[in-house]
């Protein structure tokens, strides 16, 4: 519901950038409430992250046995970090700005199991739930390898329980795939505009797809209601989940190791910039939180949202967080960035991101497709449109006074663009994305 014009004017007077946001112009916002690591007041910390990492370790033998794409890494769900120098050059030419330092792509588009960043949060939350059920039932032998989760006995046990999730995209895929594999009855609630290939894939994996007329928030509402009406049911709640958040956060431990292996220092003289596509804010929030725990003030995290779905931006800028939606400000929340079309931020993540994130910029849909084509041409890496959003980060931030204000040596910086998905996108679909990008680029390329 739109708010009264008078109230809207008050907000705009207080936060002039809101006017540009409402007019759907791309903006860069720096977070005035960001805190130094020692001054943050957070509901969770390093200890919870370590516990989450340990859970992943316990399940590694199971994941390795059940998902072939994890076995090379011993059942650890992780993605490579790749330097992308050709793309760096291409960006400088196209967006008219030399990027100081090195440019990397964190390839969550290659993550096993779910082919997107949701393989971190979604898989973690379901594993956490499964472990608790098994433990409470006295089923789990703690001295035995978690390979026992593959047994008929466990699958039989989990088949009494249901899991539900409302998602039109990657979260649905990750929850559906891991839940069905463990033996749960899993229902994915989708709006009717969900892509056919996702529904097909989920059904093939053994999940139930429930489709709703009307918009996505109705699908979530109905999904939550129908799931919780069943006894022994569990609803994965993207809008407030702490488990999703912790599942994402452990990426920071893995990234630290990857940077060390590449000999890349991160400290006050060698700042690390990380650019994260943002929907409800759980994935980027969890990763930013983790990175702050690991690298402290030497890491600078920026979120990216579509100009049509700046939910976290508006929530943090106004301080209202999950109490406001983009629709309240007359913004339509229509974008082709899968996973980014979110009108209202996560309540759990927002309270933390408010302290950890350096800023947020917005991006127009056509840029996503252009960047997709540029990345494909320069590095032969194919990702989904939303996963490209971070690629504009270095140019965007360099055009602000951020480095100067914080006295950062950009020539010694490392930039990590978090690529969030793409591996499961069918070939023909990807070809269509690429062609659109080429069209938008026009004669420029």
Ligand X SMILES: *Cc1c(COP(=O)(O)O)cnc(C)c1O
Residues lying near ligand X in the complex (CB under 6 A) are found at: 116-118, 169-171, 277-284, 338-340, 342, 384, 386-387, 420-421
CA distances from 269 to 84, 94, 295, 411 (A): 22, 29, 13, 10
| Cβ closest to ligand X, residue 166 vs residue 279 | 279
**Looking up tokens 């035995």, which residue turns up?**
144
State the nearest-atom distance from the C-beta of 276 to ligand X, in Å: 8
**Minimum CB distance to ligand X, residue 122 (Å):** 9
Give 119 or 140: the residue with its C-beta nearer to ligand X.
119
As measured in angstroms, the least distance from the Cβ of 168 to ligand X is 10
Closest by CA to 164, choosing from 217, 210, 118, 213, is 210
Assign 193 to helix, strand or coil. Answer: coil
C-alpha–C-alpha distance, residues 123 and 112, integer Å: 11
Rank residues 75 and 385 by Cβ distance to ligand X and give the closer one. Answer: 385
Cα 368 from chain centre: 16
Considering the complex, state which of residue 134 and residue 202 has its C-beta at the smaller distance from ligand X.
202
Q: What DSSP character marks residue 116? A: B
| Spatial CB neighbours of 432, under 8 Å, sequence gap ≥ 6 | none
Do 55 and 131 contact (CB within 8 A), yes or no?
yes
Specify the residue, 59 or 248, whose C-beta has the smaller distance to ligand X.
248
Q: How far is the CB of 420 from ligand X (least distance, A)?
A: 3
CB nearer to ligand X: pick between 283 and 294: 283
Q: Which two tokens stand for residue 409?
A: 């040596």
Residue with Cβ nearer ligand X (314 or 340): 340
Beta strand 102-107 with 81-83 is antiparallel
User: C-beta of 383: minimal distance to ligand X in Å?
Assistant: 8
- Residue with smaller CB distance to ligand X, 385 or 394: 385
Between 18 and 171, name the residue whose CB sits nearer to ligand X: 171
Contact present, 168 and 191 (Cβ < 8 Å): yes
What is the closest distance, in whole angstroms, from the C-beta atom of residue 417 to ligand X in the complex? 12
Q: Is 6 exposed, middle or buried (0-12, 13-18, 19+ CB in 10 A)?
A: exposed
Is 249:52 a contact under the CB 8 Å cutoff? yes
In terms of Cα–Cα distance, which of 160, 402, 90, 119 is closest to 271? 402
Would you call 390 exposed, middle or buried from its count of C-beta atoms within 10 A (0-12, 13-18, 19+)?
buried
Phi-psi category of residue 338: left, alpha or beta, with phi > 0 → left and psi -120 to 50 → alpha: beta
CB of 277 to ligand X, least distance (A): 4
Smallest separation, CB 18 to ligand X (Å): 21
Smallest gap, in angstroms, from Cβ of residue 278 to ligand X? 5
How many CA atoms within 13 Å lie on the side-chain side of 83?
A: 11
């Amino acid at each position: 519901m739109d708010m009264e014009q008078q109230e809207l004017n008050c907000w705009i007077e207080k936060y002039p950038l809101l006017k540009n946001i409402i007019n759907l112009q791309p903006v860069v916002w720096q977070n005035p409430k960001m805190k130094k690591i020692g001054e943050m007041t957070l509901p969770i910390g390093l200890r919870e992250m370590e516990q989450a990492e340990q859970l992943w370790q316990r399940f590694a033998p199971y994941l390795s046995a059940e998902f072939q794409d994890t076995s090379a890494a011993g059942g650890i769900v992780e993605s490579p970090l790749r330097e992308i120098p050709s793309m760096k050059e291409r960006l400088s030419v196209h967006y008219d700005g030399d990027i100081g330092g090195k440019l990397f792509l964190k390839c969550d588009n290659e993550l096993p199991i779910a082919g997107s960043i949701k393989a971190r949060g979604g898989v973690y939350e379901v594993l956490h739930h499964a472990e608790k059920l098994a433990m409470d039932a006295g089923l789990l032998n703690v001295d035995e390898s978690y390979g026992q989760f593959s047994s008929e006995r466990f699958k039989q046990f989990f088949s009494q329980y249901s899991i539900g999730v409302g998602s039109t995209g990657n979260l649905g895929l990750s929850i559906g795939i891991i839940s069905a594999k463990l033996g749960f009855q899993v229902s994915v609630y989708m709006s009717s505009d969900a892509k056919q290939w996702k529904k097909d894939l989920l059904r093939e994996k053994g999940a139930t797809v429930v489709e709703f007329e009307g918009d996505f928030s109705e699908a979530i509402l109905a999904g939550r209601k129908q799931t919780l009406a069943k006894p022994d049911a569990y609803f994965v709640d993207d809008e407030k989940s702490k488990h999703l958040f912790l599942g994402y956060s452990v990426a920071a431990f893995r990234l630290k190791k990857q940077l060390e292996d590449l000999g890349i220092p991160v400290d006050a003289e060698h700042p690390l910039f990380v650019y994260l596509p943002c929907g409800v804010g759980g994935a980027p929030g969890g990763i930013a939180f983790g990175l702050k725990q690991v690298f402290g003030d030497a890491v600078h995290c920026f979120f990216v949202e579509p100009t049509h779905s700046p939910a976290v931006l508006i929530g943090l800028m106004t301080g209202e967080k999950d109490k406001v939606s983009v629709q309240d400000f007359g913004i339509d929340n229509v974008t082709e960035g899968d996973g980014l079309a979110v009108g209202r931020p996560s309540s759990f993540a927002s309270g933390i991101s408010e302290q950890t994130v350096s800023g947020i910029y917005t991006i127009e849909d056509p840029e996503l497709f252009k960047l997709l084509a540029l990345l494909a041409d320069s590095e032969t890496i194919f990702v989904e449109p939303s996963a490209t959003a971070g690629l504009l980060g270095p140019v965007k931030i360099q055009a602000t006074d951020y480095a100067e204000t914080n006295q950062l040596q950009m020539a010694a910086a490392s930039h990590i663009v978090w690529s969030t998905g793409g591996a499961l996108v069918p070939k023909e679909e990807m070809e269509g994305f690429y062609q659109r990008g080429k069209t938008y680029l026009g004669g420029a390329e």
